[in-house]
Amino acid sequence: MVATDKEAAHRAASDAEQIAWVDGEDQLLGAMVRSELRERGLIGRGTYIMLFNSAGELCVHRRTLSKAIYPGYWDVAAGGMVLASESYAESAARELEEELGVSGVELVAHDHFFFEDTGNRLWCSAFCAVWDGPLRLQPEEVLEAHFMPLDQVLREIHEKPYCPDSLAALQRYLARRR
């Protein structure tokens, strides 16, 4: 599979976005172009929104091949980088609508943590929401999406490539529920 021209154009626009640049204590230092922040190994802010249906199933989706980080991986959360002009909650609402076409739902904040992986250093805020309506996928970012029982998701994460940052958010969410 190859990224489409539309995906490549979306990636270029995404790489040029001004996102929140923060320090190790999540204090805002300013705005920085996403690609520069990533190249310099600096810290940004990210949001993760775990979308459940009323049956308790979790929405999982597959990322497009044009994504800068974890291309083609499965993901347990919608989300993305917080723009310099946004709060975590504003970013979460925007990302959920952009990626999955879900808006007007209550976003419940449940965690704030630091995540670090190769090429990915973030202060993260995780949210969850419930939605039983249709999904409208953003084709430049999401290849497919569906709801799955949590026990199936937890088995599948060992069989398919899943984004480690959103898995960290899910694991923290599940640990808090126990």
Nearest to residue 18, comparing CAs of 40, 41, 57, 45? 45
What pLDDT, on a 0 to 100 scale, did the predictor assign at position 177? Answer: 87
| CATH number for the domain harbouring residue 145 | 3.90.79.10
Nearest to residue 100, comparing CAs of 71, 126, 124, 76? 76
Nearest to residue 75, comparing CAs of 92, 90, 58? 58
In the chain, the percentage of residues whose pLDDT exceeds 90 is: 82
Which tokens hold the place of 80? 């993305």
Alpha helix stretches (DSSP H) within 101-156: 150-156
> What is the mean predicted confidence (pLDDT) over 67-96?
95
Average pLDDT of the chain is 93
What pLDDT, on a 0 to 100 scale, did the predictor assign at position 13? Answer: 61
Domain extent at residue 136: 5-177
**Number of folded domains in the chain?**
1
Residue 158: pLDDT band with limits 50, 70, 90: very high
Single pTM value for the model = 0.91
Residue 7 scores a pLDDT above 80: no
> What is the mean predicted confidence (pLDDT) over 7-20?
71
Specify which residues 158 forms β-bridges with: none
Binding-site residues sit at 95, 99
Nearest to residue 107, comparing CAs of 116, 120, 97? 97
Residue 5: pLDDT band with limits 50, 70, 90: confident
Binding-site residues for Mg(2+) sit at 95, 99
Alpha helix stretches (DSSP H) within 5-114: 5-15, 34-40, 88-100
